[in-house]
């Protein structure tokens, strides 16, 4: 599959929407980010953070702040084609309740649905070795 410029822009917009969707705790926004059968694997960033399906992902983020960080941000979004499909590699950082910042990586497998691109599988890992 050859990605078009429109595909790349749509995927980058979706990635930008993620932080807003999580911080707004709005399931309607999360449905614009994740596919219905998505997997969020955050075990590399914290306990009890492996969720399967949009409903489970929405319920997990609906727990609010805390347990989730105050602010979710993302940078360095790289969209590329791989043997198994369209992927995104990005850096993330969050501001926690104790005033610290956590840094890490997102590794995503994307899926094009009838509604547009969605995250099919996200792996979140902590990059800061003090927090791993």
What integer pLDDT is reported at residue 13 of this predicted model?
97
Q: What span, in angstroms and rounded, lies between the C-alpha atoms of 92 and 73? A: 6
Q: What is the pTM of this model?
A: 0.91
pLDDT along the chain (132 residues), means of 10: 93 96 88 97 86 96 86 94 97 89 94 97 85 54
Please report the pLDDT score of residue 130 as a whole number.
65
What integer pLDDT is reported at residue 131 of this predicted model?
58
Look at residue 65 in the predicted model and tell me its pLDDT. Answer: 85
Q: How would you classify residue 64: left for phi > 0, otherwise alpha for psi between -120 and 50, otherwise beta?
A: left
CATH architecture of 5-126: Roll (3.10)
Domain ranges of the chain: 5-126
């Amino acid at each position: 599959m050859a990605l078009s410029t429109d595909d790349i822009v749509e995927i980058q917009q979706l990635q930008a929407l993620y932080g807003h969707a999580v911080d707004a705790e709005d399931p309607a926004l999360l449905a614009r980010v994740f596919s219905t059968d998505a997997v969020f694997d955050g075990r590399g960033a914290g306990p009890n953070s492996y969720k399967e399906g949009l409903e489970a992902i929405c319920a997990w983020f609906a727990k609010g702040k805390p347990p989730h960080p105050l602010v979710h941000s993302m940078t360095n979004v790289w969209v590329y084609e791989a043997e198994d499909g369209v992927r995104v590699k990005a850096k993330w950082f969050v501001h926690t309740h104790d005033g610290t910042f956590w840094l890490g990586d997102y590794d995503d497998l994307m899926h094009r649905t009838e509604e547009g691109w969605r995250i099919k599988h996200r792996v979140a890992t902590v990059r800061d070795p003090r927090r791993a």
